[in-house]
């Protein structure tokens, strides 16, 4: 006669668990249940290990994505920021250059005005010299 869990009498609170008719504790329904639970736990443990391996693989994939995509983007971002700083510095330099060129132009205009004034003075001196020469020639020949 086979001892089966389904044909065993139900456990009543306070009652002792049924034992196999041979009296062997190693082959009782409780031991079968423990074996079944152990097998389930081993399978569950295997699934957990498999999931852990999958999670580790995903972590490695994320790290690879991070190093191949995110890091170059961050580097490019830093390069763009440095380029923007360089452009701002260049703009400031251009403004200073423009201001310096304006001052140079003012100086050139002042020098040109001074030269024009000197030319007028030279022309005036030439006129005076010609008048003096004419007076001298008049005195020499007609006086």
Q: What is the pLDDT of residues 79-134, one digit of tens each?
A: 999 999 999 999 999 999 999 999 999 999 999 999 999 999 999 999 999 999 99
First and final CA of the chain: distance in angstroms? 175
19 band by pLDDT with thresholds 50, 70 and 90 = low
Query: What percent of the chain clears pLDDT 90, i.e. is strictly above it?
Result: 64
Which residues does 141 contact at the CB level (< 8 Å), separation at least 6? none
Check whether 17 has a pLDDT greater than 80: no
Query: Of 48, 54, 2, 69, which is closest to residue 29 (Cα–Cα)?
Result: 2
Q: Could you give the CA distance from residue 37 to residue 35 in angstroms, rounded to a whole number?
A: 5
Q: Could you give the CA distance from residue 62 to residue 70 in angstroms, rounded to a whole number?
A: 10
Q: How many helices (H) and strands (E) does the chain have?
A: 2, 0
pLDDT at 1: 43
Q: What is the pTM of this model?
A: 0.45
How many Cβ atoms from other residues are within 10 Å of residue 94's Cβ? 10
Q: Could you give the CA distance from residue 9 to residue 21 in angstroms, rounded to a whole number?
A: 13
Q: Could you give the CA distance from residue 50 to residue 113 in angstroms, rounded to a whole number?
A: 92
């Amino acid at each position: 006669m086979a001892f089966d869990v389904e044909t065993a009498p139900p456990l009543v609170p306070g009652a002792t668990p049924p034992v196999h008719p041979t009296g062997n504790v190693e082959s009782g329904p409780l031991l079968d249940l423990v074996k079944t639970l152990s097998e389930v736990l081993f399978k569950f443990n295997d699934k957990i290990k498999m999931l852990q391996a999958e999670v580790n693989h995903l972590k490695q994939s994320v790290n690879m994505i991070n190093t191949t995509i995110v890091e170059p983007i961050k580097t490019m971002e830093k390069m763009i920021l440095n380029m923007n700083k360089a452009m701002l510095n260049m703009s400031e330099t251009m403004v200073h250059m423009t201001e310096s060129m304006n001052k140079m132009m003012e100086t050139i205009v002042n020098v040109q005005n001074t030269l024009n004034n000197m030319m007028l003075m030279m022309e005036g001196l030439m006129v005076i010299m010609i008048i003096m020469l004419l007076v001298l020639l008049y005195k020499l020949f007609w006086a």
